[in-house]
Structure 1
Amino acid sequence: MYLLLLTAGLAYLLGSVSFGLLMAKLFRLGDLRSIGSGNIGATNVLRTGHKPAALLTLLGDAGKGAAAVLLARWLVGEDAAGIAALFAMAGHLWSCFGGFRGGKGVATFLGTLIALNWPMGLLACATWLAVALALRMSSLSALVAAVAAPIYALVFQHWHVAAVVAVMSVLIFIKHAENIRRILDGTEPRIGAKK
């Protein structure tokens, strides 16, 4: 139990590292929270027009989720991997380094899925990519992938992993509440558009 609690705490701290803010500072892009949507994720970094910074944000946010899962599995065991996934994502959503504000968690979510089970994770990424290419809407892509991910988890993993993935999917929907409203009224920005 103590090891699982320690895993949760360390995964949360790792998830709290904001690669969007780090890239904005490194590339002198200004205050990311006052640009575009104000979000700290890769899509908003892309709105600055700096594609390398957006790519590094995407890789960093996905990588920290994957790293939390892989380290937990290696050091503690399989049960810890699911806990690490959930708490790394929670760290990204409510970062202790950012006044308990964070991003929307999509890249971190996808990174944890790949580390939990790579076929499941790659299918979720492919789902995101297919919707993004077809409709050029990052938020809608994330929502569709979040709906599909627990189904993929049931196919490739045990029900307890599917339960963790379902909780993370619900968090994706909660953090995208404003996006859902904009999608419904037709005002959601497209990928690559400057807001």
Structure 2
Amino acid sequence: MEMNTALFVLGAYLIGSISFAVVVSKLFRLDDPRSYGSKNPGATNVLRTGNKKAAILTLLGDGAKGFVAVFLAKVFGPDLGLNETGIALVAIAVFLGHLYPVFFRFIGGKGVATALGILLAIDWRLGLATLATWLIVAYAFRYSSLSALVAAVFAPFFYVLMFEIDAIALSIAIMSILLLFRHQKNIANLLAGKETRIGSKKK
């Protein structure tokens, strides 16, 4: 891996490691999102506090870091020798940063908002198609986890339909697999009928 590519990948991982759920919760003097509900540091869990502003800021922050990392790689990377494979690696790196943040003992979120930010940066149509899938399932069933799982499955197919099978398609498939892996408990809860719905208060 060339030095510039390595620097972009490292920078993306560090950006991804900023856990907005934890940061925003501290700013709003809320409980640590890793201590209640699903114990997942993400917008859906922060929403369980009843503080919608904090949840929205968490959602925007987690989405923005995915978008910014990939957008910067696409805009400035080519002049610094970053090719398509390099951009794909940046996408995976910022996603892994969110899942396993170095600043928070490698205990991170499930990656839904960050993945959306990444997809929007890759191509806005891809991001909107995936977001529409999430919204449709969320509206119909009111399960954030189910919406994320369905959107994750469709995202790689949306990309291939719009473009082709390439390094970026592979990176999206890898992110989808990681997202499914991080939702193992949610899958079990869904099958058992124990999954909490969107907007449920924390216990």
TM range (shorter): over 0.9
User: TM-score by structure 1 length?
Assistant: 0.97
CA distance in 2, matches of 1:18, 1:168: 18
Which of residues 179, 192, 196 in structure 2 aligns to 1:189?
196
SS in structure 2 of the partner of residue 97 of structure 1: helix
CA distance in 2, matches of 1:92, 1:28: 22
Q: How well do the aligned residues superpose, as a CA RMSD in angstroms?
A: 1.0
User: TM-score by structure 2 length?
Assistant: 0.93
For CA contacts below 8 A with separation 6 or more, give which structure has more relative contact order.
Answer: 2
In the alignment, is the contact (CA less than 8 A) between 1:58 and 1:107 conserved in 2? yes
SS in structure 1 of the partner of residue 102 of structure 2: coil
In the alignment, does 2:99 pair up with 1:93? yes
Which of residues 136, 154, 157 in structure 2 aligns to 1:151?
157
In the alignment, is the contact (CA less than 8 A) between 1:24 and 1:45 conserved in 2? yes
CA distance in 2, matches of 1:40, 1:164: 23
SS in structure 2 of the partner of residue 38 of structure 1: coil
Unaligned runs of 5+ in 2: none
Match of 2:180 in 1: 173
Unaligned runs of 5+ in 1: none
Match of 2:16 in 1: 15
In the alignment, is the contact (CA less than 8 A) between 1:45 and 1:53 conserved in 2? yes
In the alignment, is the contact (CA less than 8 A) between 1:117 and 1:156 conserved in 2? no
CA distance in 2, matches of 1:66, 1:159: 21
Q: Which runs of 4+ in 1 moved over 4 A?
A: none
Match of 2:144 in 1: 138
Aligned positions, number: 195
Report the CA distance between 1:81 and its aligned residue. Answer: 2.5
Identity across the alignment (%): 51
